[in-house]
Structures are given as structure tokens and as C-alpha cells.
Structure 1
Amino acid sequence: MSAVLPDTFTVRPPTKDDAKAVYELVRDYTQAVIGFPDYTLDDAVDELTEPGFEPETDGWLVFDGDSLVGYGSVFGKGEFHVLDIDAVTSDPVVEAYLLGEITRRGRELGAAHGRSSVQLDTGVYRLDTARRERLEAHGYVRGTTFYRMRIDHQAPVPVPEVPAGVVVRRGTPDEQSQRAAHRVVSESFAGQYGFEVRSFEEWRASHEAQSTFDWSGMTLLEIDGKAVAMRECTDGFVEDENCNYIGRLGVLDEARGKGLAKYLLRDQFALDAAAGRSGTLLHVDTNNPTPALGLYLSVGMREFLVIDSVRCKVDV
């Protein structure tokens, strides 16, 4: 059951027209917690218009008079084993209300997709100990920890040599190349924390809806005519940090040990430096079954921000 809000508060679903208000709410929260705004207007627009997100049932705006004081959402993809949720507010009562609504809706989504239970997942900045303690009181436990890794580019970066026998395909403008990228992502990330395999159609629609993504930002590596590795980049951090963002970097099991991941990283560093970017960012799961953290450290990246992923199992 959701917490009861004060009588003066009102709740309604969000629309795209609310993107600026949501952006300002989340921006101010991140500024207060980590010392800089970690959210953009593009982020807000993309969240509210994500294909598959139904704001009428899966989003909540809480107002105190005319002031937006809380924003909540729940979003499922793939087979709906895991639902991504968010509840942003500085008011614990509003937070409890949003978590209650999210849990209720999460059960409905799980039932609609034949699940007996679902995992509700969200991220918490390591610095936000108060929020993490409140979420723990609502039954959330830490699932893993993500590091935001960064490397700065203050001078030209050497272009790495392409590994022997590898063909580099820059951009995935057609369905055939996009399907190849989707296959590499699905196979290389299967079983990793929070990853939900999505159909090609769902995956493509999600990418095409992102304001900071273009298919030119996808790179494939081929061996003997088969795509065995991929790198996906977006402009999600260009506006606020002038940094490129590597959203996915995957290598199939059969192609590991050939230096492909290290090549993809160094290649992107060179591209970003040449484009005048201040740096390159990515997130890494510190419990990743592959030694990803060691790889990123070995090419000069450093830990920039720590985000704990917490989850709550909800029976449907």
C-alpha cells in the first residue's frame, strides 16, 4: 500500500511537456548529492518518450501546489524479469508514496507478462547514504556496484593498429548490420546483472528513439566475415561534460583473448580526442564475470563515480 500524501499534494502522469520540470528536479537532486548536475534535458525527454513506456500507468508526478516535488517511473523490457524504476524526491513521504505506486504497478506488469515475481532495480549514488538506507527499509538490497570510468584527452591520442585478421565496420546504417550488432550484444551480455535480452525490433526502436544516439556511433569488428565484437557510443554526456559515452562494448566468447576490446577502447579514445572531446566515459559492473574493470584500468581509465544498483524482489 502506498504512503498517504498530504491533502495539499496532487499526483498525475507525466507527458513530454513535463520534460523540463522533470529535468530540473533530477538535476537539482544530483547537484545536491554529488556536486554537479548528472542529468540533461535530453535525458528527461528520452525517458518520457521511450518506446514501451506508458506514462499514463507507469509514471507519476507529485506536486505541492504548483511545485514538482517528486517523479517516479517503472519500465520493463525484454521478458520483464527486471523492471527499471526511479523515485526522485527530497521528501521521504513522497518517496514512500512513489515506491508504493511503483511496487503496485510492478506487480501488474509482472502478471501481464506471466511472471511469478519481478525484480525492481534502481541506482543509488554511493554518496547518497540516506537514500540507500531508506530503500533498504523498503526491502531493497545491493545487487552490484557500477563504476563510472573516465579517461581525459588533453593531447592527440595515437590511432591503434587494427588486430590481424580483423575488419572494422564503422556505422550500422542498414538492417543487416544492425542485426549483427544486436546479436553480438545479446550473446556477449547474456546472463550479466540486469541485462534483459530484447527482440531486434524492440532494441532497434529504443535506439532510434534516443536523441543522443545515431547508428554511425555503432562499430563492428568482423573476423572471417562474421561480427564478433561491437562498440556503441552516444552523445549523452557531450552537453554537460563534453565527453563521449561508450554505452556497450561486447566481444563474443569465441573472439576473446585477441585484444579486440582493448583495440575498441583505444580506437574510441583516438576518435574522441580528434573530435575535441574532453574525455571518454563508460560504466562497468564491478562484479562482471569478465575482467572488465581490469581492462579499463589497463588502458588508463579511472574510477570517477560509484553507483550501487539495488533491487527488490516482488512476488506477483
Structure 2
Amino acid sequence: MTLTVRPAGPGDAADICALLNAVDMIEIGRPETDLGTVESDLNAPDVDLATDSWLAFEGGRLVAYALVWADSGPGRVDGDHYVLPGHDEAAVLLLERMEARARELTAGSGVLRLQLNVAPTLDLSHLTARGYRTIRRYQVMTRSLSPAADLPPAVPAGLTLRHCADDEADRHRAHALIEETFAAHFGHVDRPYESWLDHIDGRRLDWSLVWIASLPGQGDAAVLLSRDDRTSMGWVGHIGVRKELRGRGLGGFLLRHCFAVYAARGRDTVGLGVDIHNETGALGLYEAHGMGLHYAVDSWELPLHSQG
């Protein structure tokens, strides 16, 4: 069967979304990719679709899709790679295209990183044969919600909580708190505000679902950024507490507040992603608040060399 490859275009978003949901069904048992997410990826300001994206067709059927981007600083390129099972030729061809483009973007000195389900549709022998190695594991965790069980928590003495919908300065403050509280996390990239907005698709964000907690004499102490634009569940993108104020229950309070808000909005599930090696104890915090494993993802890395 003839294999053809071409760049993606904005008009391909629906077909790409269908492919990703077919992969979701195999890997996690249900479709969880939204069209808006695919459209945001294709329209990202740092992506040139002509050079940074690929669609592979066999007999006119879309069987694989890949995308690379380089917004994480010098020497690092990130990528997505999706393929239906049994299409090894397409899988390898797109890996080759991604690697070649990543070498161009890094002048042959850096790394290419992929995030893949721990049991992906891609045959992992293709990665190990090409020199990729796993460097980190992340868990997507979820929790069921109900309006009766998830009531607003009692506010700790002296704590004040505000959302960021009404004040542009608070949006900048939320960004600053996230940068501060995530600075020591593996893989974190320090981004200025406008670049950060692009990275999180912040222009589609409902800022009333981003909260800052403050304490007397301490100022702004913690932040939780969430979003309600996914079909499958509400999503916690970031939750951070300033280092010197950890251990006071601020993270747990923000989580419980988030659960109550989303339950009241009619959501039955909330989710988040966590680095299982996170040294702040985030995994234990989430487990203590009733969150459980939905699926796990490995981060794979390939050292890039100018000669391939």
C-alpha cells in the first residue's frame, strides 16, 4: 500500500483529532482529545506547519501524525508522535522527519523529547533502536466529583482567596507565582508572560478558575490554575505553593476548593498530571485527596548529533 507524507494544515484539524482519539481508545480506553486542543497546537505561534508537522497516509487513510516545536529554550525540541498500530513504516518515517527537523532547530546539538503512554501504539523498539531513552514518568490522575460530597472547604484562619478574572495584574501575579513555585521542577522552562500565555493557550483560559491564596504578613502564598475547556473533565494545570510556606495545608485547601467549584459547575471528574519523582510530595498530596491513576506517560529523550 502506498505511503505518502505531507505537512499538516489548519484544515486537517478534524482528521487529526479523529486519529488521536482512535489512539486514545487503544491506549486509555476512551477518546479524550478535543478539537480545540488540536487547533491550538496547529496554530501555535512557534510552529511552522510547512516544516514542523507531518501527516502519513496509507491508501488515502491517515495513519500517523507528528509535530515538533522549540519553545523550551536553546538545545531542546519537543514533539508529538501518534500512529495507529501496525503501521511501522509510517511510524519510523515520521520519527526520521522529526529528528532531522530537530537537528536543524538545534544546530545538531541538543535533545528531542517525546511524551508517550507507557503502553503506546508505537512499537517502542523503534525508539530504543534509534537511541531514545526514558528520563521521567508522569501520571495523569483523576477524581470523581459530586455536589453533595464536594462542598466548599473551610477557609484557614487569615487566608484570603481571589480569582484572576477581574485584574490583569493578578494574571501576571499568577504567572509569577507559577514560575517561582515550579522553578526547581524537572523540565520546567522559565517563560516571560506573553510566551507563557502562548504555551498554556492562555487566551482561551477562563481566569475566574485561576486562584491566588494569600496569608497575613506573607502576601501571595499559593496559586492554582485550572481550566474547564476539556470535554472529558475539568483540568488542574498548575498548583504551586511558595517553598517557605509549604506544609501548612495550602495545597490541600486549593485542591478542595477546586473540587467544590467544579462539582458545582456540573463536572463529574477533575484531572491533573504529576511527575512521580516530584520532590515536593505532590503525588502523595493528590492521593491523600482521593485522586487515582488514570494512565501514565513516559518522557523519552534522544540526544541530537549533527550527523544523525
Q: Partners in 2 of 1:209 and 1:64 — Cα distance?
A: 36
Q: Partners in 1 of 2:248 and 2:143 — Cα distance?
A: 23
Uncovered stretches (5+) of structure 2, i.e. residues with no partner: none
Choose which of 14, 22, 30 in structure 1 pairs with 2:8.
Answer: 14
Choose which of 51, 74, 93 in structure 2 pairs with 1:97.
Answer: 93
Matched, 1:175 2:168: yes
Q: Partners in 1 of 2:177 and 2:47 — Cα distance?
A: 25
- Indicate the SS of the match to 1:131: coil
Structure 1 window deviating more from structure 2 (296-305 vs 121-130): it is 121-130
Q: Is the 8 A contact 1:82 1:196 kept in 2?
A: no
Q: Is the 8 A contact 1:147 1:306 kept in 2?
A: yes
Number of aligned positions between the proteins:
302
Deviations 1:78-104 (A, max 9, x none): 414432211212311111111111111
Q: Which residue of 2 aligns with 1:64?
A: 58
Aligned-residue offset at 1:208 = 4.8
- Indicate the SS of the match to 1:94: helix
Aligned-residue offset at 1:194 = 2.3
With structure 1 as the length reference, what TM-score do the two structures score?
0.88
Deviations 1:33-72 (A, max 9, x none): 3321131212211111122122111111122343222211
Q: Partners in 1 of 2:234 and 2:190 — Cα distance?
A: 25
Identity %: 31
Q: Is the 8 A contact 1:49 1:209 kept in 2?
A: no
**Equivalent residue letter for 2:177:** V
Aligned-residue offset at 1:137 = 2.0
Choose which of 182, 198, 202 in structure 2 pairs with 1:205.
Answer: 198
Matched, 1:79 2:69: no
Deviations 1:2-35 (A, max 9, x none): xxxx8x3332221111100111111111212332
Uncovered stretches (5+) of structure 1, i.e. residues with no partner: 1-5
Choose which of 29, 34, 37 in structure 2 pairs with 1:35.
Answer: 29
Q: Which residue of 2 aligns with 1:3?
A: none
**Equivalent residue letter for 1:104:** A
Matched, 1:55 2:49: yes
Compared with structure 1, are the counterparts of its residues 208 and 146 closer, same or farther at alpha carbon in structure 2 (3 Å cutoff)? closer
Aligned-residue offset at 1:185 = 1.2
Matched, 1:159 2:159: no
**Equivalent residue letter for 2:81:** A
Q: Which residue of 2 aligns with 1:135?
A: 127
**Equivalent residue letter for 1:144:** R
Q: Partners in 1 of 2:276 and 2:99 — Cα distance?
A: 27
Matched, 1:251 2:253: no
Matched, 1:275 2:271: no
What is the aligned-residue RMSD (CA, Å)? 2.1
Q: Partners in 2 of 1:173 and 1:61 — Cα distance?
A: 42
Q: Partners in 1 of 2:25 and 2:126 — Cα distance?
A: 20
**Equivalent residue letter for 2:115:** G
Compared with structure 1, are the counterparts of its residues 118 and 163 closer, same or farther at alpha carbon in structure 2 (3 Å cutoff)? farther
**Equivalent residue letter for 1:77:** D
Aligned-residue offset at 1:284 = 0.9
Q: Partners in 1 of 2:121 and 2:190 — Cα distance?
A: 32
- Indicate the SS of the match to 2:235: strand
Deviations 1:101-147 (A, max 9, x none): 11111122123xxxx73222222222338633332222221111111
Q: Partners in 2 of 1:132 and 1:192 — Cα distance?
A: 27
Matched, 1:150 2:112: no
